[in-house]
Chains A and B, each alone.
Chain A
Amino acid sequence: MDRPFDAELDARGLPCPMPLLKAKQALAGLGAGQVLLVLATDEAAPRDFAAYAEATGHRLDQVEYLGDVIRLHLRKRVG
């Protein structure tokens, strides 16, 4: 919960695939190795973000559930 991050994206209430699309835009503004915290309520988000990370080289460091909010720590790929 206290894990550090460099930027935050509030995607709560957005249906798939919007959290992922907005995360991609948000990552563009970050440097290599920086972490984007995504808040989402779409229950498919953990699996979807894992597939996205696998395909793009970013890393899904951690997924936490706080009530009905899912907190995804997405680390931008290096290189």
Chain B
Amino acid sequence: MSRKRLALLITRATPESAYAPLMMAATAAAMDYECKLFFAFGGLELLRPAPRLEVPGPMADAVPDLVELRATCLEQGVEMIACSASLSMGALTREQLMPEATVAGMATWLAFASGAEIQLNFG
């Protein structure tokens, strides 16, 4: 049985656009999906070692720590890809991202996303 694939595009760093895809990816990976997350534009912030993200109180009580959740994803083989075009815009450099992040361009992303059963955008 070939693995199902989950492709998530994250273009902003808000609490919703951070937690929804990471929770989905962690759960999908636990269910043996192959998961790749593509971070572009403001979403790149979520690939920093310590993302700057203000989580409102009621939500903060109900969600796991973002960095721990991200680590859970990585341990399960979720690939987190930084958009090379967004990096070239200069707000963040590769060196400012966590070492586990990979870098790829749009064609790489489309090749994966076009074969994925689930494709969602969080922006």
Contact = CB atoms under 8 A, between A and B. Distances in A.
**Which label, helix, strand, loop or mixed, suits the secondary structure of the A interface?**
helix
A19 B24 CA distance: 14
Interface string A44-79: 000000011001100000000000000000000000
Given A17-B26, A21-B26, A21-B72, A52 B62 contact: no
Nearest to A57: B32
Interface of A: 15-18, 20-21, 24, 51-52, 55-56
For chain B, give the interface size range.
10 to 19
Contacts of B62: 15
A20 B27 CA distance: 7
B31 A21 contact: no
Interface in B1-57: 23, 26-27, 30-32
Contacts of A16: 23
Contacts of B31: 51-52, 55-56
Give me the 5 closest cross-chain CB pairs, A-B, nearest first: A55-B31, A24-B30, A17-B27, A15-B62, A17-B23
Contacts of B63: 15
A52 B64 contact: no
